[in-house]
Structures are given as C-alpha cells and as structure tokens.
Amino acid sequence: MNKRGKFISRRKILFGLGGLAAVGALATKQLVQAVDNLKKDFQVTGKLSLSQRAAKKGLIYGAASRKIDLSSNPLYAAAIVQNCSLLVPEWEFKWTAGNVRLRPSPNRFDFTAADWMANFAATHNLLLRGHTLVWHESLPPWFQKTVNRQNAEQILENHIHALVKRYAGKIHSWDVVNEIIQPKDGRRDNLRITPWLQLLGPNYIDLAFRLTAAADPKALLVYNEYGLDYDNPEQETKRTAVLKLLERLRAKSVPIHALGIQAHLSPGDNKFNPKKLRQFLHHVAGLGLKILITELDVVDKKLPRDIKVRDRIIAAVYEDYLSTVLEEKAVIAVITWGLSDRYSWLNEFEPRPDRAPVRPLPLDAQMQRKLAWNAIARAFDNAPKR
C-alpha cells in the first residue's frame, strides 16, 4: 500500500527487483523475501520519538552529526533534538576531518568545533559520544612526517590527555580505538597494519585504553569495528579475530568496557544470519562487555531505484537487524550514522551507480520520516527491556 493507498503491483515490484536480480545483486531467495517484505506496512503505534521508544526499554538512541549541518539547518537541528538522546560528532573529535582541524599542527589543538558540538549537546540535554581517539584514517597531513618511534607514545599521550581531559565527565563513551582488526593484513594476531601499530607495536591498544581511562574514569571505553554483521567467510574470520582480541585485552585487565559494532549494513549480496550474529553478541557479552551499535545505516546502491520498493527493503533490513541485536541485553545503544539522508556520508562514499540520491537513514532529505524510521521505532517497541 503506498501513500495514495494504491497497492504496488507485484508485477511492478518483481520487475523492479528482477531488474536488480539481473544485475546479479539479489539472490532469488532474497528477491522473493524482499517482495514479501513489501507487503509489510511497518505500522507504528503512538507518538513517541525514537529516543523515547528506546528509553522505555533502557536503550539509548542517537545519531552522528556535524557542526556544519547543525549550525546551518535549524530544521535538521530540531530533528536531531527531537529524535535523539545522544549525539556523536561525525568530524569534530577526529584528528582532522572535513573542514575541521582539531590538530592543525603537532603542538596545537583547535577545540572550536569540538566545543561547539559539546555545547550543542549540553544545551539540548543530549549525551555526547567521543569518536575517535586512535584510527588509521583522519590523521593530519603533518602526522607522517612528524611522528616516529621515538615520539609516538608522547604524541599519543598528549592527544588523549588534552582531548579526553577537556571533556571529562561530559562524555558517555569514547571510541578509543577504531577499525583495528584486518585479517587480510596477514598478521597472526589479525591486527590491521596501521601507523600506530608500526610506531608503537600491538601494545598501542592497551596504552590507548589506559591513557583514556586515566583522563576520564567516568567514560565508557569502546573498541569500535565494522564488518561484523553478515554470514560470510570474511566476516566470520573477523568476528573470530575480534573475539580473540577482546579476550586478550580482558585477560590483561585493559580498561575496555564495550564493543562498538558500526553496522553499515549492505543488503544485496550479503547473507544475514540472525543466529550467527546472536552467537557472536552472546560471546562478547560473556566477556563482561557492553555492546553499542555505533554507525547504523543501510547502503542502498544495489537496491532498486524505485523509492517505494527501495524504502521498504531498507526498512526490512533495519527491522530484521535490530530485532536480532536487541535480543542481546548487553546492547545498550543504537546510533545511526546520521539522521537525514541529506547529510549521509554514503552520498559521497557509497553512491548509487544511477546517481539517484541515497536513502539510508530514518529521515529523508526534507526531514520527513521514512519507513526506516518506522522500522527502528518498531524494533525499539518490540525489544526486551534492559
């Protein structure tokens, strides 16, 4: 049933999806399942916001956002405040990102943008999430020619101390390390070969967590990772490697409190296996760790162009994934990587071959709710209470 109350003809749907199958993206089973999903109406009851529905189950819902968007679009800022109880700066707490230079030079910090985001969160009573202290991306231009084995530890310590201390007590959780497992790099420990690993050795991870804990004993300290969601050999290998790393860190009493699962979902040629994912989450929880879904969105480049069909498939992906992960009570937060399609990073990083605007998030470019919003709301409404 579309907005005008017309049923979308099954023939049209199959043609739309069939075209997709012709592209070799959707397996037949998924094609049929996607068509069956189209019959779902994703009905939502009541008028609660996403964060209010999450809170009723002891969950946090939030979104990533950027100063450049919040400061220039009052409608968008209002949508963030209305829907979220947590804000994660998409650029402002990184060493460098977009038009933000937190670290303009080896001995300088420019907290202007980070302070603006922290003030926005405080003004609107939003929890604030720090992302991210140690990553192989978003390193400033001066990093490679300045940092060496002799000064790397001091530079890392200065960065963490200055940034974490400045917002100590105001941060819900820090992504202390980000995307540090990469089995394809061929190491026995499956660590990604990053500048930090090359400069400081594997113990850079322990060091980062210990420095962060010392600078803000109140913050939840998180290891954030992608590629953990689907049932395929590559992601199974990665899940196993992540579990081994978490076990090692816990055995050494490293102050790590949670695993962040980015959850950039990509339907089309990935097999989603709820049982396998629940087993992984159960193992993580068994280590005494909490779990945050930290960058949830849906890559739609392999989905049909037809918005009615595409939005339904995306909604079904959201509902299937969240209903699976929220069964694990160690999952404490769901954060989408953006709130409105207008500002999604996927416009630039995972554009559609047909160049149609992507539609990965709960609100469209005009801040109107989509079926994805309904699907997330339904998942919160049906989740067990924490």
Residue from 81, 97, 160, 298 touching ligand XIL (CB under 6 A): that is 97
State which H helix or E strand residue 246 sits in.
helix 233-251
Using rule CB under 6 A, residue 65 touches ligand XIL: no
Using the rule CB under 6 A, give the single segment among 90-98, 152-160, 198-206, 282-290 that binds ligand XIL.
Answer: 90-98
Report the alpha-carbon distance of residue 338 to residue 364 in Å, rounded: 11
Whole-Å CA distances, 84 to 263, 334, 360: 18, 10, 17
Using rule CB under 6 A, residue 90 touches ligand XIL: yes
For the chain, what percentages of helix, strand and coil (3-state, to nearest 5) are there?
Answer: 45, 15, 40
Query: Toward ligand XIL, which CB reaches closer, 69 or 381?
Result: 69
Cβ atoms of residues 235 and 277 within 8 Å: no
- The pattern of x and - marking residues 289 through 308 that bind ligand XIL according to CB under 6 A reads ------x-------------
Query: Toward ligand XIL, which CB reaches closer, 2 or 99?
Result: 99
**Least distance CB 175 / ligand XIL (angstroms):** 7
Report the alpha-carbon distance of residue 98 to residue 358 in Å, rounded: 20
Using rule CB under 6 A, residue 340 touches ligand XIL: no
Query: Toward ligand XIL, which CB reaches closer, 178 or 190?
Result: 178
Using rule CB under 6 A, residue 173 touches ligand XIL: no
Write phi, then psi, for 139 (nearest 5 degrees).
-90, 140
Using rule CB under 6 A, residue 262 touches ligand XIL: yes
Report the alpha-carbon distance of residue 237 to residue 344 in Å, rounded: 29
> Residue 96's closest CA among 142, 50, 127?
142
Token code pair at residue 47: 């008028």
**Least distance CB 303 / ligand XIL (angstroms):** 20
Write phi, then psi, for 380 (nearest 5 degrees).
-65, -45
Using rule CB under 6 A, residue 350 touches ligand XIL: no
Using rule CB under 6 A, residue 182 touches ligand XIL: no
Query: Toward ligand XIL, which CB reaches closer, 235 or 262?
Result: 262
Using rule CB under 6 A, residue 178 touches ligand XIL: yes
The closest residue (CB) to ligand XIL is 345
Pairing of strands 264-265, 220-225: unpaired
Binding positions for ligand XIL, rule: CB under 6 A: 90, 97-98, 178, 262, 295, 345
